[in-house]
Structure 1
Amino acid sequence: MLSLIPPSGPGLHNDGMSRARWSAIAATCVCLAAVVALALGRSAELTPVFVLDAVPLGLGWLLVVRAPGNVVGPVLTWLAASLAVVPAVEAWSGPGVWPWQLVGFLALLLVFPDGLLPGRRWRAVAFAVPGAALLVNVAFVLTMNYHDDPPMHSPISVPRSIWYPVMFGALFVLLVVSVLCVAAVVVRYRTGDDRVREQLKWLILAAVLVLTLMVASWVIAAFGWLGPEVYGGFLLGIVILVPAAVTIAVLRYDLFEIDRLLSDSLAWVLTTAIAAVALAGIAGSLDYLIDDDRVGLTGSVFLVALGVLPLHGVIHRAVARVIDRDRAVVLDRIQRFVEQVRDGSAEPEDVQDVLRTTVGDPQLVLLLTDLDGSGYVDRTGAPADPPSGELVTLRSSDTDLGVLVLTPGSARRVRQGKLAASAARLPIEVSRLRLGLRRAVHEIDESRLRLVTAAAQERRRLERDLHDGAQQQLVALGMQLRLAQRRLPDGHPVGAELDQAVERIENTVAELRRLAHGVRPASLHDGLGAALTRLGADAPIPVRFEIALADDDPGELVASTAYFVVAEAMANVLKHADATAIEVTAQQVDGRLEIRVSDDGRGGASGLTTLRDRVGSIGGQFTVTSERGTGTTIVAVLPCGS
C-alpha cells in the first residue's frame, strides 16, 4: 500500500510525482484484480463494487494528473482498492476482512489536504492504521467459531472465555486509531492557514452530509419503512460525497462559498434533529393527554411547525459565527458602519476604508459612477479610471452605482467583496449622491461668484464712465458757460440765468460723484488699508484700526466687499449700539482676509442680512456674536484672489 509519508527534501519533487503515479497504477491493478475475482466467483456484489469503485478511482487519477505532487490522489485510488478487495476476499475466503475498508478513509483523514502532519507521533499513527485493521481482522478470525452463523470456521481458535476480550480489545484499538485520525483533522484545522481551513471545510461538509444520511437511514429502518436497502444512500454518500469533496478541495477549494454551504447544511441538520426530538416529545405528551391519536399527531406537527423557522434562524446565526465566521464578521462590521452612518457618527465617504478592512484587501478601490454619466469618480469627486484587478460592478435596481476593484486573488475574495459591497449599499449610494450634491453646490457658488464678479466689474466700468465721461463733459460745459458769462457786460439779465445753470451743473456733478462713490469707493484707489482707515476719520467716537495685510490688493471683489462690510458695520454701531469705541481688525492668513469689527455697545444686534448676503456672494463666511450688555463682534472671512 502507498506510504502515508510524502517524500520531501531538495531534488525529490519529481521522484515523489513518479512514486504517486506508480502507486496509483498499483491500486488500479488491485481494483481490476478484485473485479476479476468477483466475476470468476459469480458474486452478486460485482455490479455495486464496480460502481462504488469507479468514483474514488476516477477522482484519484484526476488528482494524480492535475495535482501530481499531492499524496491525496494516490490515497483515493487505494481507497477504491480497499473497497474492491474486501468483497472479493470475502467471496473466496469468508468474512473478517471488513476492517480494511476503513483503512482508505482513515488514511485520507491523515494526509488530507497536503500530506501527513510532521512529527513521529503522526508517523506512528500512520503505521497504526493498517496495524489496527490487521488486528481486528485476526481477532475476528480467531473468534469466528463462536459466531452464530459463520460461513466458515477458523482452524485456530482462542478459548471461549477470552474471545470477548480479544474481539473488543481489537475493536477498541481500531476506535482509538480512528479517533487519532479525526484528531489529525482537528489539529490541521487549528494550525493551518486560511487555504488549509477552506479545504478542510469541504471534508467537514461531506462528513456532515454522510452523517445526516446515516441518521436518516437509522430512522427509516427503525420505523420499518424500508429494508436493508435503506443504507444504500448512506454508502453512496461515503464513496461519492467524500471523494468528490476531497477532489474539489484540492483542485478548486474556492469554487463555492464552502463556509456558507457548511453553515447552512449544519444549521438545517441541527434544526431537523431538534424538531424531530420536539415532535416526538410533544406527540408523546399529547398522546398521553388526548385519546385521539390523529388529533395528537396533528397538534404536535402544528406546534413544531410554529417553532421551526424561528428556531432555524437562531441556530443558523449561532452556527454561522462558528463555521462561517468570515461572512458573519463581514456582515457585522458593515452593519455597524451602516448604523454609524445613520446616526451621524461616521461619514459615508469612509466606506472604502471600511471595505478594505473588512475584506482584508488594503489595495481595494471603490469608484462611484458620476451622476452625469461621464465616467467614474473617487470618493473626493475627482475623475478616475478603474485600475487593474478583479472588477465587481455595483448596481441598485437599474442604476450603476460604481465599481469595486479588488487585488487579483481567489474567487473567495471576490465573493467577500460582493457580499461587503452589497451590505454597504446604503453608504455607497449616499456617498454618490453627496458627491453630486457637493458638485452642484460648488457649481452654484462658482456661478454666483461669476455673477458677482461681473457685477463688480460692471460697477467699476460705470464709475469710470461716470468719471471720465458724463462728469467730465458736465465740468467742461460749466466752464464754457462761465466763459460765456464773463463775456457778457455787467448786469446783463442772461448772466443770472447762466449762474443758475452753472450751479445746477455743479450739483449734478456732485450727485454723479456721490453715485460713483457708491458704486466703488474712490478711496480704494489708494489700497484697502488706506480706505479702511479713512472710514474712521469722521466718526464721532474713537475707532482703532489694526491692519496687517500681506498684500494691499487682495482682489477687486474682496477689497470692495471688505470695505462695505466695515462701512456698514460701523454705520450700524453708530446708529444702534450706543457704543463708546470701535475696533476694526483686518489681517490676511493662509490666503484668506479676515475682517473683524467690535464695539462695546449694548449688544443684541440682529438682522445684518445685507452684510451676510454680500459676504456669502463671494464664498465667504459671516458670523455675528452679540450678547446683550457685552457689545457686538462681526467677523467676515473672505477668500483672497476673488
Structure 2
Amino acid sequence: MSARTARRLVWSLAALTLSLLVLSAVAYLSGSGWHLLAGFFWAFALIFLGVGGLIAIRHPRNAIGWLFLTVAVASGLGEATHGYAQYWIEGGAGSDTLGKAAAAYSNVSWIPFVVVPTTFLLLLFPDGRLLSHRWRPIAWCAGLSIAALFLTAGLAPGPLEDFPQVVNPYGWHSSLQSPLEGLAFLLFLVAVIGSAVSMILRFRRSRGEQRLQLKWLASAAATAAIVVPIGTLGYDVWGEFISNAVIMLSVLGLPLASGIAILKYRLYDIDLIINRTLVYGALTAILAIAYLGLVVVLQEALSFATQESDLAVAGSTLAVAGLFRPLR
C-alpha cells in the first residue's frame, strides 16, 4: 500500500469514526442527556483512532495501526447505536426495527476493544508480524473467538444486558447455545494465553530498541492485569462508576504505550518510568496496609470509649499522613 493510499484510508476511517461519535452525542442530547460513562467510550474511540492513525500513516505495513483503527470504528458504532437505542427507548420515537437492532449491537459492542488488545496486539507487537508461522493457530483462535463471541452474545435469547426492557430481536432458543458459548470462551482463553506466551518469548529473544518497545507494552499490560481484577472486585465496595472508570483508564494504557513504542517517542524513558511505578506502587501499598491496620487497632483500643469508628479513622489518617513525607 502506498503512503498516499494509506493516508486517504486513515482520514476516511477517522471521518467515519468522528461522524459516529457526533451521531451518538446528538442521540444522547435528544434523550435523557449526556452521561459520563459515554465520555470514557469516547476516549476509547479517540485514543485508538489517534494512535492507530499515526501508526498507519508512518508505518502502513504494520497491522497494529489498522487494527487500532478498526477498534476505533467499532467503538464509534457502539456509541452511536447505544445513543440511538437509549433515545428510542426513552423517547418512543424512531423506527422500532432500527431501535431494537441498535440495542442488540450496543449489547455486544464491547467485544472488539476487549479481544483485540488482549490477543492480536500481544501477538503482533511491535512490528505487526507474528513471531513465526507456528503462531498462526493462535491468531486463528483470536479471530474465531471474536466471531464466536459476536455469534453467541448476539443470538442469546431474552432481555439484553444493557437494555433489560428490550428482548433480543435476534435471540435463538437452541440446545447449541451453551456449547457454543463454551467454545467461544475456550477459543478466547487459548488466544489470550497463547498471545501472552508469544510476547514473553519475543521479549526474551529481543535486543536493543525492540526490547525497549516491548517494555512499554509489558508495563501497560502489567498495570491493566493488576487494575482490572481489583476494579472488578471493587464493584460492591466503591460502586460501578468508579470501578468502570479505573478499568477503562488502565486498558487505555495499552494503545498509548503501543503508540509511544512503535513511533519511538521518548522510547528510552521506559526504565525510569518502570522504576518510579514500582517505587510509588510499593509506597501506596505500604500506606494502604498501614492505614487499614491502624483503623483496626484503634477501633479495638478505643472501643471502650466510643462505639463509632470516626475517631479511629481520623487517628489513622493523621498517622499515615505523617508517614508519607519521610517514606517519600
Please confirm whether the aligned pair reaches a TM-score higher than 0.5, indicating the same fold: yes
TM-score, length-normalised on structure 2? 0.70
The correspondence of residues 606-621 of structure 1 with structure 2, limited to 5 A, is none
- Residue 248 of structure 1 is matched in structure 2 by 260
- 8 Å CA contact 2:139, 2:191 repeated in 1: no
| 2:55 paired with 1:57 | no
> 1:274/1:218 Cα in 2 relative to 1: closer, same or farther (>3 Å)?
farther
| 2:147 paired with 1:134 | yes
- 8 Å CA contact 1:28, 1:57 repeated in 2: yes
Per-residue deviation at 1:82?
2.6
- Residue 260 of structure 1 is matched in structure 2 by 272
Residue 102 of structure 1 aligns to which amino acid in structure 2? V
Structure with higher RCO (Cα < 8 A, 6+ apart): 2
> 1:176/1:299 Cα in 2 relative to 1: closer, same or farther (>3 Å)?
farther
| 2:192 paired with 1:178 | yes
Per-residue deviation at 1:198?
0.8
d(CA) in 2 for partners of 1:232 and 1:40?
23
d(CA) in 1 for partners of 2:268 and 2:257?
11
d(CA) in 2 for partners of 1:167 and 1:88?
27
- Residue 71 of structure 1 is matched in structure 2 by 63
d(CA) in 1 for partners of 2:13 and 2:69?
6
Q: Percent identity?
A: 23
> 1:55/1:307 Cα in 2 relative to 1: closer, same or farther (>3 Å)?
same
Residue 31 of structure 1 aligns to which amino acid in structure 2? T
| 2:220 paired with 1:206 | yes
The correspondence of residues 457-536 of structure 1 with structure 2, limited to 5 A, is none
> 1:122/1:206 Cα in 2 relative to 1: closer, same or farther (>3 Å)?
same
Per-residue deviation at 1:222?
4.4
Which one has a larger percent helix, Structure 1 or Structure 2?
2
Residue 267 of structure 1 aligns to which amino acid in structure 2? V
2:14 to 3, 28, 34: 28
- Residue 280 of structure 1 is matched in structure 2 by 292
Question: Which structure has the greater CA radius of gyration?
Answer: 1
> 1:102/1:52 Cα in 2 relative to 1: closer, same or farther (>3 Å)?
closer
Residue 201 of structure 2 aligns to which amino acid in structure 1? V
Per-residue deviation at 1:261?
0.8
Aligned positions, number: 294
- Residue 151 of structure 1 is matched in structure 2 by 166
Q: CA-atom RMSD, angstroms?
A: 4.0
- 8 Å CA contact 2:74, 2:112 repeated in 1: yes
> 1:84/1:18 Cα in 2 relative to 1: closer, same or farther (>3 Å)?
same
| 2:144 paired with 1:121 | no
d(CA) in 1 for partners of 2:209 and 2:136?
24
> 1:39/1:255 Cα in 2 relative to 1: closer, same or farther (>3 Å)?
closer
> 1:181/1:272 Cα in 2 relative to 1: closer, same or farther (>3 Å)?
same
TM-score, length-normalised on structure 1? 0.39
- 8 Å CA contact 1:76, 1:108 repeated in 2: no
1:297 to 310, 313, 318: 313
> 1:244/1:93 Cα in 2 relative to 1: closer, same or farther (>3 Å)?
same
Deviates more, 1:126-135 or 1:33-42: 33-42
- 8 Å CA contact 1:199, 1:253 repeated in 2: no
Per-residue deviation at 1:308?
6.9
d(CA) in 2 for partners of 1:63 and 1:210?
22
> 1:109/1:53 Cα in 2 relative to 1: closer, same or farther (>3 Å)?
same
**Structure 2 residue matching 1:158: 3-state secondary structure:** coil
Can you give the 5+ residue segments of structure 2 that lack an aligned partner in the other structure? 86-101
Deviations 1:583-612 (A, max 9, x none): xxxxxxxxxxxxxxxxxxxxxxxxxxxxxx
Per-residue deviation at 1:39?
6.2
The correspondence of residues 77-92 of structure 1 with structure 2, limited to 5 A, is 77-90=69-82, 91=85, 92=102
Deviations 1:449-487 (A, max 9, x none): xxxxxxxxxxxxxxxxxxxxxxxxxxxxxxxxxxxxxxx
Deviations 1:560-585 (A, max 9, x none): xxxxxxxxxxxxxxxxxxxxxxxxxx
d(CA) in 2 for partners of 1:168 and 1:35?
34
> 1:166/1:67 Cα in 2 relative to 1: closer, same or farther (>3 Å)?
closer
- Residue 98 of structure 2 is matched in structure 1 by none
The correspondence of residues 37-56 of structure 1 with structure 2, limited to 5 A, is 38=24, 48=39, 49-56=41-48
d(CA) in 1 for partners of 2:321 and 2:15?
53
d(CA) in 2 for partners of 1:220 and 1:73?
33
d(CA) in 2 for partners of 1:103 and 1:218?
17
Deviations 1:19-77 (A, max 9, x none): 85576456436525644764685576797355542332123222233334433332322
- Residue 191 of structure 1 is matched in structure 2 by 205
Residue 45 of structure 2 aligns to which amino acid in structure 1? D
- 8 Å CA contact 1:54, 1:80 repeated in 2: yes
The correspondence of residues 600-639 of structure 1 with structure 2, limited to 5 A, is none
d(CA) in 1 for partners of 2:302 and 2:171?
61
Per-residue deviation at 1:192?
1.0
Deviations 1:242-264 (A, max 9, x none): 33322221223545521121121
> 1:181/1:23 Cα in 2 relative to 1: closer, same or farther (>3 Å)?
farther
**Structure 1 residue matching 2:108: 3-state secondary structure:** coil
Deviations 1:75-100 (A, max 9, x none): 32223123223334554142234212
Can you give the 5+ residue segments of structure 1 that lack an aligned partner in the other structure? 1-14, 314-642
